[in-house]
Amino acid sequence: MPKRSAGLILFRRTGAGVEVFLVHPGGPFWARKDAGSWSIPKGEYTGGAGGEDALAAAKREFQEETGFTANGNFIALGELKQPGGKIVSAWAVEGDCDPAQLRSNTFQMEWPPRSGRQMEVPEVDRGGWFSIESARTKLLKGQLGFLDRLVARIG
């Protein structure tokens, strides 16, 4: 059974068009990566009988990774299978936030690999607002379909 993740795309309308809020993964592996490395705020959950509801997981992960609470009319964007086999479900919601106020949870990781040394890093080291066109260059390839679905749903 493939792993499952759920996430939210926060979007806002500006005079220049629609912008989406994306996050950059924390830790030394991602530190110098930019194009094709940003993500929607998302995380794994256990679905199925007795498991967590996907939308509830998406809201929880958004709050854990950004420190912001998402409220409003959630628009289902469906699922996408990632290159590694994970299934990601996403919703869009209109809202706003200040990236300078982002506060992410942290996790322990071994770095350098196989060194035995543990370090605590933020799950997300920064967030930002991007036009749809700019988001296409920033977002992980496996999540690009969510942008198309968002544009189709909100016009």
pLDDT of 35 over the 70 cut: yes
Number of H helices, E strands in the chain: 3, 8
Q: Work out the pLDDT band at 46, boundaries 50, 70, 90.
A: confident
> What is the Cα–Cα distance from 23 to 122, expressed in whole angstroms?
11
Q: Work out the pLDDT band at 49, boundaries 50, 70, 90.
A: low
> What is the Cα–Cα distance from 68 to 23, expressed in whole angstroms?
12
Selection from 23, 151, 10, 144 nearest residue 88 by Cα: 144
Residue type, 59: K
pLDDT of 58 over the 80 cut: yes
Angle at 59 between CA 102 and CA 37, to 5 degrees: 55
CATH of span 4-154: 3.90.79.10
pLDDT tens digits, 112-148: 889 999 999 999 999 999 999 999 999 999 999 999 9
In this structure, are strands 118-122 and 42-45 parallel, antiparallel, or unpaired? unpaired
Can you give the pTM of this predicted structure?
A: 0.93
Quick one: DSSP state of residue 39? Answer: B
Query: What SS3 state is found at 104?
Result: coil
Task: Map out the domains of the chain as residue ranges.
Answer: 4-154
pLDDT of 97 over the 70 cut: yes
> What is the Cα–Cα distance from 124 to 23, expressed in whole angstroms?
6
> What is the Cα–Cα distance from 21 to 150, expressed in whole angstroms?
13
Average pLDDT, the chain: 94
